[in-house]
Amino acid sequence: MIQPHGGQLVNRYVPEEKKRDYLEKAKTLPQVVLDDKNISDLEMIASGAMSPLKGFMTQEDYRSVVSDMHLSGGLAWSLPITLAVDQAAVDRISGSEEVALTDSTGRILAILTLQEVFTYDKKLEAEKVFRTTDEKHPGVAYVYQQGEYLLGGPILMLQRPEHKDFLPYRRDPAETRAIFAERGWETVVAFQTRNPIHRAHEYLQKCALEIVDGLMIHPLVGRTKADDIPAEVRMRSYEILLEKYYPKDRVLLSVFPAAMRYAGPREAIFHAIVRKNYGCTHIIIGRDHAGVGSYYGTYDAQHIFKEFRPEELEITPLFFEHAFYCTVCGNMASSKTCPHDASAHVFLSGTKVREMLSRGELPPKEFTRPEVAELLVKAMK
């Protein structure tokens, strides 16, 4: 099985028998309240999904990642994983070597060993990570509104976030790896998504299934934009598709607890590294992966892989052209396989589909399976 990034799967959970003592200790520490994005990052650090990270980045790693997409030790890493706070929080924790990290209700989640408190250049981070300083970009807007200081250091997770949704599908990397081993899957392709799966996605996944042992559909269920389709609706659409149109013994549906950054190319690299930690050997990288608006070129998320040596990432990206249904071919195709004019291609933008659904109209069966279309119409109502 493919090795975790950096060679070892990180586990930052406090053993059950020590949890009570750590919780009592945490109650005596100054507290920092985390938002939903911070909590997603915390959970992924603790579970090993972000191996080799053991906590929030210190200044040396942060600057190295922002400037050239590598940790200070030279390992490939494309996104800063940080915990930002304001001046009031810095004053509150001043002089303390440890900090309790809580959710918005005050429930203690983890202890951070505070190695560094440092300032940073928000505009530079935006330029490097998102390729824009436009505050209309959701990722840039988040960076601009967060605190002026970053806290760096390793964490110990005392209690998991209180999830009430998708419980059968919430699996840590150690669990997905065990499932792959049990099923005898030596090669596994990951599919990252924050949208319902339409026929083009299905086509890409099934093309990939022709060359690997298994497929992990890994929808992101952390923070997304307000106008993205809710995770509970998307999850139901995946269940419908897997029940009716996929081989049950070759597909695993599991949720990805990350928050979206909408960082396009850099986030594609991050998604690949993290799926490697979950045990995947391949990842599908299609059109405008992790993009938003018109900030990135159609295939920029594929081109960025050329900036890394294959042995730096190890996981194999599968690059796909934009897929569509061709009325002349009578099947799904792409520009690589279809010789016909665009007038024969059935393609609907996300905006167009949302407009149709809001009017109660079903998208054509060439675009999406009818069962999924019916579900989405009901959800829009």
pLDDT at position 380, please? 77
For residue 350, give the nearest of 193, 204, 165 by alpha carbon. 193
Kindly report, residue by residue over 164-202, the tens digit of the pLDDT.
999 999 999 999 999 999 999 999 999 999 888 888 899
With residue 190 as reference, give the H or E element that holds it: strand 188-193
Say yes or no: 253 and 227 in one domain. Answer: yes
Tell me the CA distances in angstroms from 17 to 14, 26, 161, 166, 256, one per residue in order.
8, 16, 19, 27, 28
Angle (CA) 85 89 93, round 5°:
120
pLDDT tens across 310-351, in order?
999 999 999 998 899 999 999 999 989 999 999 999 886 666
Is 10 contained in some domain? no
With vertex at residue 10, the alpha carbon angle to CA 187 and CA 61, rounded to the nearest 5 degrees, is 105
Same domain (yes/no): 211, 79: no
Are residues 192 and 316 both part of a single domain?
A: yes
Residue with token string 């406090």: 14
246/351 same-domain check = yes
The enclosing domain of 249 has a CATH number of 3.40.50.620
Q: How would you write the pLDDT of the chain (381 residues) with one tens digit per residue?
A: 999 999 999 999 999 999 999 999 999 999 999 999 999 999 999 999 999 999 999 999 999 999 999 999 999 999 999 999 999 999 999 999 999 999 999 999 999 999 999 999 999 999 999 999 999 999 999 999 999 999 999 999 999 999 999 999 999 999 999 999 999 999 999 999 988 888 889 999 999 999 999 999 999 999 888 777 888 989 999 999 999 999 999 999 999 999 999 999 999 999 999 999 999 999 999 989 999 999 999 999 999 999 999 999 999 999 998 899 999 999 999 989 999 999 999 886 666 777 787 788 888 888 889 999 889 888 877
pLDDT at 76: 98
Q: Are 371 and 239 in contact (CB under 8 A)?
A: no
Is 184 found in the same domain as 74?
Answer: no
Look at residue 73 and tell me if it is in a domain. yes
Which residues have a catalytic role annotated?
194-195
Decide if 4 is inside a domain.
no
d(Cα 337, Cα 47) in Å, to the nearest integer?
41
Residues 229 and 97 in one domain: no
Q: CATH no. for residue 151? A: 3.10.400.10
Pair (192, 273) in one structural domain? yes
Among residues 157, 176, 211, the one where a domain terminates is 157
Torsion, Cα of 181, 201, 363, 301 (10° steps): 130
Structural contact between residues 189 and 209, judged by C-beta atoms closer than 8 angstroms: yes
Q: Does residue 1 sit within a domain?
A: no
For residue 214, give its domain range. Answer: 167-380
Indicate if 147 and 246 belong to the same structural domain: no
Pick the last residue of a domain from 107, 127, 157: 157
Co-location of 172 and 304 in the same domain = yes
Do residues 48 and 10 touch, judged by C-beta distance below 8 A? yes
Number of domains in the chain: 2
Q: What does the pLDDT read at residue 347?
A: 82
Q: Check whether residue 185 and residue 148 sit in a common domain.
A: no
Which of 157, 185, 201 marks a domain boundary?
157
Identify the pLDDT of residue 352.
Answer: 72
- Residue 350 has a pLDDT of 63
Q: Are residues 116 and 183 in the same domain?
A: no
Statement to judge: residues 234 and 90 lie in one domain: no
pTM above 0.75, yes or no: yes
Q: How many CB atoms lie within 10 A of CB 87?
A: 10
Scanning the chain, the segments in alpha helix (DSSP H) are 19-26, 36-47, 59-68, 87-93, 122-125, 138-145, 173-183, 199-209, 231-245, 265-277, 300-303, 310-313, 350-358, 370-380
